[in-house]
Amino acid sequence: MAKDQIKPGDGLGKYVLVASIAGVIVLLDQWTKLWVDADMRLYQSIPVIDGFFSLTYVRNKGAAFSMFADFPDSFRTPFFMVVTVVAVVGIGWFVRGTPREDKLSLISLAFILGGALGNAIDRLAYGSVVDFLDVYVNDWHWPAFNVADAFITTGVILLLIAGFVGGGAPQSEEAKT
């Protein structure tokens, strides 16, 4: 058998790992968003750490930093769904090429996948994403974000770290030689 062929059942565990972690993230993300939507009024802010962190309920029709928020729904919804499908396919491709021993990369990919799916659910169901984590210093506010966004960001950072410590993005056989 050629070394680049996968034996039956080889690596199935890594798909279960990624899907399980992503599923937990989606559940956590959706639960927090449902909680905020049920218990807070839109634009309500609850200080948690005075001068640094509040729970502030906003809805974001755009992407990060409200990019594309002013575009019509007829563009935004299909655009974000295509981006999500491309991300899911890309993550699947990376998982396929990542050795099952490279747990840091696999967990990183699961974080990104779970976050992407969590936000996609909001976009399909409501046409916007519930954001509520508000980090700030005095009057300077980072754009509000949610659990899905936090996992996407953490996943990207961990994937970069994995790349520096020997894991990271899979390479083709040609790139390894």
Q: Is there a domain that residue 30 lies in?
A: yes
Beta bridge partner(s), residue 47: 54
Distance of CA 56 to the CA centre of its chain: 20
> What is the predicted pLDDT for the residue at 176?
43
Q: Is there a domain that residue 7 lies in?
A: no
How far apart are alpha carbons 45 and 144 in whole angstroms? 11
In a structure prediction context, what are the per-residue pLDDT tens digits for the chain, which is 177 residues long?
445 554 444 558 999 999 999 999 999 999 999 999 999 999 999 999 999 999 999 999 877 766 766 777 778 888 889 999 999 999 999 999 999 999 999 999 999 999 999 999 999 999 899 999 999 998 898 999 999 999 999 999 999 999 888 754 455 454 343
By CB atoms closer than 10 A (0-12, 13-18, 19+), residue 88 is: middle
Q: Is there a domain that residue 65 lies in?
A: yes
Total structural domains in the chain? 1
Beta bridge partner(s), residue 46: 55
How far apart are alpha carbons 170 and 158 in whole angstroms? 15
Q: Is there a domain that residue 177 lies in?
A: no
> What is the predicted pLDDT for the residue at 177?
35
Active site residue 29: no
The domain of 157 spans 14-168
How far apart are alpha carbons 4 and 173 in whole angstroms? 8
Q: Is there a domain that residue 161 lies in?
A: yes
Q: Is there a domain that residue 109 lies in?
A: yes
Q: Is there a domain that residue 143 lies in?
A: yes
Active site residue 149: yes
Q: Is there a domain that residue 3 lies in?
A: no
The whole-model pTM stands at 0.84
Which entry of 70, 131, 134, 139 is annotated as an active-site residue?
131
For 67-74, which contacts have Cβ atoms below 8 Å and span 24 or more sequence positions? 73/127
